[in-house]
Amino acid sequence: MLAVAAGGGCAGALLYFCAVRCRSPGTCGQLLRQDGTVAQRPIRLFGDPVLRTRCDAVDEFDRALIGLVADLEETVSAPGRAGLAANQIGVSRRVFAYNVDGRVGHLVNPVIEAVGGEQEEDEGCLSLPGLWYPLRRAEHARVRGVDRLGQPVVVEGEGLLARCIQHEVDHLNGQLFVDRLSGSVRRQAMRDLRERYIS
């Protein structure tokens, strides 16, 4: 789950890449469990082993997967959230959801096919609440996967969407954004993590 200080169409708002808003107000029920419910799931925090485990590929496109996607989208429905990986709600499967600038969706078994350019923004993560650090990412990204029904999907974007794609795929590989920091910024992040989570 990523957060960035976003410019442009996001009007400078801080967006957490942890999950996805509903497609439009009142339509959160579009992806329902068998019993007709969806659930906001608690976010796993730094130190939880599931965040450091590479997620397993999805090979069954069943009701359980539909429920997982619904929960991801519901969990990110809070204002300011933009993307969420399944392991951030404790499910070690290669699935993430996103909602960036009104563009909502999810990807199953995502593979980044291409990146290009460069951007640097403050980035954060709901699994490490309150911690923000400047991080260089590719400006453009294209990712290929499938949807909850197994149909092919390609998502391509620049800026915030590209950052979201990269951040969430890192999560699915067991990597946190602080792992990509370097130099004095990384040293500060490690001090902050020790103070908040280890001491």
User: Out of 73, 74, 123, 168, which one is annotated catalytic?
Assistant: 168
pLDDT per position as a tens digit, 57-96 = 999 999 999 999 999 987 776 677 789 999 999 999 999 9
pLDDT per position as a tens digit, 85-124 = 999 999 999 999 998 887 778 999 999 999 999 999 999 9
Task: From residue 197, give the alpha-carbon distance in Å to each of 2, 24, 131.
Answer: 18, 37, 12
**pLDDT of 12 higher than 80:** no
**pLDDT of 182 higher than 60:** yes
More confident residue, 198 or 186: 186
What is the structure's pLDDT at 108?
98
Provide CB contacts within 8 A for 91, sequence distance 6+: 68
What is the structure's pLDDT at 100?
86
**pLDDT of 47 higher than 80:** yes
**Would strands 14-17 and 152-158 be described as parallel, antiparallel, or unpaired?**
unpaired
Of residues 119, 133, 114, 123, the one with CA closest to residue 192? 133
Tell me which architecture the domain covering 2-198 has in CATH: Alpha-Beta Complex (3.90)
Q: Taking the domains of the chain in order of start, what are their residue ranges?
A: 2-198
Work out the number of other CB atoms within 10 angstroms of the CB of residue 175: 15
**pLDDT of 147 higher than 90:** yes
Q: What is the mean pLDDT of residues 173-190?
A: 98
What is the structure's pLDDT at 104?
77
Catalytic residue check, 73: no
Provide CB contacts within 8 A for 67, sequence distance 6+: 33, 34
pLDDT above 90 coverage of the chain, percent = 67
**pLDDT of 37 higher than 80:** no
Report the distance separating Cα 124 and Cα 169, nearest Å: 15
| pTM of the entire predicted model | 0.82
What is the structure's pLDDT at 21?
28
Strands (E), 21-151: 83-85, 95-100, 103-116, 119-125, 128-137, 140-146
Average pLDDT, the chain: 83
Confidence of residue 169 (pLDDT cuts 50, 70, 90): very high
Report the distance separating Cα 62 and Cα 82, nearest Å: 25
